[in-house]
Structure 1
Amino acid sequence: MQENTKGLYAAFKAKDVRFDGRLFVGISSTGIYCRPVCRARQPKAENCTFFRTAAAAEQAGYRPCLLCRPELAPGSAITDATANLVCRAARMLERNCGSGQKLREIAERLGCTDRHLRRAFTAEYHVSPVQYLQTCRLLLAKSLLTDTNLSVLEVAMAAGFGSLRRFNDLFKIRYQLTPTALRKRQLGGRAHNEEITLMLGYRPPYIWDKMLKFLSGRAIRGIEVIKNDEYLRTVQLKNAEGKQFCGWVRVGNRPAENALSVTVSESLLPVLSEVLARIKNLFDLYCEPNAVYETLKVMNDLRPGAGVLGTRVPGCFNTFETSVRAVLGQQVTVKAASTLAARFVAAYGSQIQTGIEGLTHSFPAPEKILALGENITERLGKLGIISARANTIYQLAVILAGAKLDFEFCGDPEEEIQKLQAVRGIGSWTAQYIAMRTMSWPDAFLATDVGIKKALPGYTAKELQLLSEEWCPWRSYATVNLWNIL
């Protein structure tokens, strides 16, 4: 990544947050690598080497800075989701770094061979997928060693290392100190209790109050709670072996640190990397707000305040949950849909003991809804869910349980949207909404949405669709901006 080195050094010198997570700086005089926002003494330009990923910096022999902590750097956004195989593979490696999933399995899910994936990945990031995966595990372990009081063995297992010896050996080779030595360098002790708190970085600004307002309005009773300017929810996940883990997570904003604080119940430690990946998706931590705003600021010509720097698209934590919630929200108010969702959870969700008021259930899995069989309309009808929507929910359970659609890592969201619209009861609005929230599709647009029509009165749906072309490829952000000004 040495093209335009002068410009990259200028960004590093300016501590430009727009480059955070998009490049890393290896410093030959110290042997460490930093984020471009690092506040340490500025090195000379001739001592700096620039890398696109932390993995590339580590393969070149650099150790992570203990001050700016590269493990907290935000990820990169997918601006061309139809073609960016490597970016999707990198996110899958991050999500599954604690599970031991094989590269062949990841390649199969992405629709390519592991040989092609290795070749494309190395060409793009200058490291192999295995090397990238090792760095993901090491940086997760470093974060756990720094921010928690978990034992070194617990850290090794949570980060996906098969053995403590393997973890210690690789940590010492890469970072030139042992995990125990790193922990001793950190100031202050941390009480060992039943929760773990980590930090996830983002690129500022982040309009946190708007995100919480959106989630609060759609919170499902028993599953989600918003209080004290924080988001809390229940979690039920399976690991690679199919073992189920239950617990809870709490997310708050740390604007001074450009990061979210994520507190996880210790019961979720075996699926920690999966939980963190889902939080990143839910709170849109891969977003590059300045790039989005450069395109959407023209919205202010239509209506002042329509284009706002720092707007995020609410993602999802559970694809089936969000998809069902979208179906229940068809042609009813947000409040009415929340009431139906709460009844659905109370009837078919599993009870979870969290010790937190309001967090009592997990959302029912697709397999549980499939088990209702032909009785689906009668069962859900008792909850006030009409037969058409009950049948649509059943079909969603079929395609998700059978992996007939890939909501989270699909190569072509527009193709998946077409498949969704083939399901009876799912029209353009529902398909676009599901794509926007579950597929991280940045270019969804809901031209027939009542809220958008209220925000921009006087336009037909067809005219709004044509108008939105100017906002590509960030129409999902345009949609949220328009909802926010109502």
Structure 2
Amino acid sequence: MELQSYQQARLSRDPRFDGVFYVAVKTTGIFCRPICPATPPKEQNVEYFQTANEALVSGYRPCLRCRPESAPFSPAWNGTQTTVQRALNIIHEEGFHALKLGDLATRLGITDRYLRKLFVEKLGVSPKHYVQHQQILFAKSLLHQTHMPIQDVAFASGFNNVRRFNDSFKKITTKTPSEIRKHPATDDPIRLQLNYQPPFDWEHWHNFVEFRKISSMEHVGTSSYGRTFLWPDGDNFVKGRFNAVHRPDKQGFNVSIVIDDPKYLYSVVQKIRQVFDLNANVGVITKALMTAGLPEHNVTPGIRIPSCWTVFEAGVRAILGQQVSVKAATNLLNQLVEELGDKDTIDGTEYRWFPTPQKIAKSRLLFLKIPDARKQTLIRLAKYCLDNPTADPQMWLTLKGIGPWTVEYAQMRGLSNTDIWLESDLGIKKALDIFPLIEPDNASPWRTYLTFNMWNML
């Protein structure tokens, strides 16, 4: 049945399958996305792979027309509860610099050997080869789409010198970076197209974020969203900003990025994908919601998780939103950023950044018109995150003033956890009055989308 659906999808160039599988052509040695505009090859000349890594390991080269490196990563097995997915989250969030696979296995609580076994089983490659392939695929995307100098491309892709980058790139793609290069090197902003599997409910994402917008930090247009961001760099932070324009005709976003240090570009791009939830496998999620008992005509196709930039930011938003309206919470957030956020004027425009945990931990927050107990909760959270920057928000429950709803909200919007069911939320309780037969556990590991669907019906 899966083979038949793959055959139909590639022949119809169905964008819903973009990133779900890849089509390798035996006669040319090239592999493509199912939406490739090239004339479809005969079925006897085709081989199917679930990931680009499997195709690369099998000796196929990425197509220069459809560019497989640009596909969303949404295999059917993808879910937050798998060890492989947690490993991938760490790799993609932290990038390739100083990544040690032994440390990765330790963080996952497994052995190096078992980690290799899981990667081969799910992705068809070892962790080492997976990382190398991601480096090259990202570099290929930058060479195709940006004006970045090759040296910067190498650095952004996790290579410490250009010679090693050139050797690795040619080994995997059979071409040199210079042969792939599409644009002359300039100092222009970095511009990329980030793709998704349709549909994408832009109206829902846009309205949710606009209602909670921090005006001095975020810009929400009719078809665009932009914001400033900080990226950790040792004891300091690298500043940056991006703007994304929705292009539903191209199933993606045109994104421009400005960042002080290109070394962190890969991780920043992955974070932007998380902000828009571009890797969501819509077909799999829709089936899960219907399994939970939500009638098909009540499933809003293409709802995405609107993510904050950091889990700390999500936690602050949740605390300020306790027992007040969304509008009142947003006003408080704007005051917080105005008072404590760094600011710069660039080309005549003033930009502000969300306050770091250190800034909030040192403040008495006297400018906020909220109960002192809530101020102290914010300060406790800031101090905790300052000392434990990578701790799971579940540990926040040890802090006075933070309960399950705050933690779950932070996991949902800060970590893009796809399996959060806000059972105690008043809106969810109202929605369950309309659909009392919903069995949320049947939607796991996609219960966050059930949460948003239920909110959307109110």
**Fold shared per TM-score above 0.5:** yes
Structure 1 segments of 4+ aligned residues over 6 angstroms from their partners: 298-302
Does residue 438 of the first structure (1) align with residue 396 of the second (2)?
Answer: no
Confirm or deny that 1:251 pairs with 2:244. Answer: yes
Q: Check conservation: 1:399, 1:405, Cα contact below 8 A.
A: no
Task: Give the C-alpha shift of residue 293 in structure 1.
Answer: 1.7
The answer to whether the Cα contact below 8 Å between 1:238 and 1:271 also exists between their aligned partners in 2 is: no
The answer on 1:365 being equivalent to 2:349 is no
Q: SS where residue 225 of structure 2 aligns? A: strand
Equivalent positions of 1:218-297 (< 5 A) are 218-239=212-233, 241-242=234-235, 244-297=237-290
Quickly say closer, same or farther: Cα 1:9–1:306, change in 2 above 3 A: closer
Change (3 A) 1:174 1:254: same
Q: Does 1:210 align with 2:204?
A: yes
Shift of residue 69, structure 1, vs aligned partner: 0.8
Q: Which runs of 5+ in 1 are unaligned?
A: 408-415
Q: Where do residues 333-412 of structure 1 align in structure 2 (5 Å cutoff)?
A: 333-355=325-347, 357=349, 360-370=351-361, 372=362, 379-403=364-388, 406-407=391-392
Q: Distance in 2 between matches of 1:174 and 1:473?
A: 35
111 and 349 in structure 1: CA distance in 2 versus 1, 3 angstrom threshold: farther
User: For the residues of structure 2 that align with 1:467 and 1:51, how far apart are their CA atoms?
Assistant: 34
**Counterpart among 19, 22, 34 of residue 21 in structure 1:** 19
In the TM superposition, what whole-angstrom CA distance separates every residue of 1:362-408 from its partner, at most 9, and x where no partner exists?
Answer: 112223333x2xxx6xx12432232222222233224423337644x
Please name the residue that 1:92 is paired with: 90
Partner Cα separation in structure 2 for residue 61 and residue 242 of structure 1: 42
Tell me, what secondary structure is at the counterpart of 2:40?
coil
Q: How does the TM-score come out when normalised to structure 1?
A: 0.86
Work out the CA distance in 2 between the residues paired with 1:356 and 1:137.
Answer: 36
- Change beyond 3 A, Cα 1:16–1:67: same
User: What's the TM-score, normalizing by structure 2?
Assistant: 0.90
Query: Are positions 1:481 and 2:453 aligned together?
Result: yes
- Per the alignment, do residues 355 and 89 of structure 1 end up closer, same or farther by CA in structure 2, a change over 3 Å counting? farther
Matched, 1:53 2:48: no
Deviation, 1:13, is 2.5
- How far apart, CA to CA, are the structure 2 residues paired with 1:19 and 1:356? 44
Percent of pairs with identical residues: 36
Q: Distance in 1 between matches of 2:91 and 2:442?
A: 34
Which amino acid letter does the alignment assign opposite residue 384 of structure 1?
K
Q: Distance in 1 between matches of 2:133 and 2:74?
A: 16
* Alignment partner of 1:328 is 2:316: no
Q: How far apart are the structure 1 equivalents of 2:434 and 2:7? A: 49
* CA distance in 2: counterparts of 1:219 and 1:131, whole angstroms: 41
Q: Secondary structure in 2 aligned to 1:43?
A: coil
Q: Within 2, Cα distance between the matches of 1:295 and 1:158?
A: 37
Task: Give the 3 Å change call, closer, same or farther, for CA 114–247 of structure 1 in structure 2.
Answer: same
Equivalent position amino acid for 1:218 in 2: R
Aligned length: 457
- Cα displacement string for residues 392-432 of structure 1 (whole angstroms, at most 9, x for unaligned residues): 2233224423337644xxxxxxxx64x44343222232222
Q: Is the 8 A contact 1:11 1:36 kept in 2?
A: yes
CA spacing shift, 1:118–1:394, aligned 2, 3 Å: farther
> Secondary structure of the residue that 2:37 maps to in structure 1?
coil
Return the match for 1:317 from 300, 309, 325: 309
Matched to 1:450, the amino acid is L
2:153 is aligned to 155
Residue type of the alignment partner of 2:399: V
Unaligned 5+ segments in structure 2 are none
User: Aligned to 1:161, what secondary structure does the other structure show?
Assistant: coil
How far is the alpha carbon of 1:12 from its aligned partner? 2.6
Is 1:81 equivalent to 2:53 in the alignment? no
Once residues 144 and 163 of structure 1 are traced to their aligned partners in structure 2, the CA distance between those partners, rounded to angstroms, is 17
Partners of 1:477 and 1:323 lie apart in 2 by 20
Q: Distance in 2 between matches of 1:73 and 1:149?
A: 21
- Structure 1 residue 175: deviation in Å? 1.3
- CA distance, structure 1, for counterparts of residue 348 and residue 134 of structure 2: 31
Question: 2:299: which partner in 1?
Answer: 307
Q: Distance in 2 between matches of 1:337 and 1:329?
A: 5
Quote the offset at 1:338 in angstroms.
1.1
Residues of 1 paired with 2:227 and 2:360: CA distance?
A: 21
Secondary structure of the residue that 1:380 maps to in structure 2?
coil
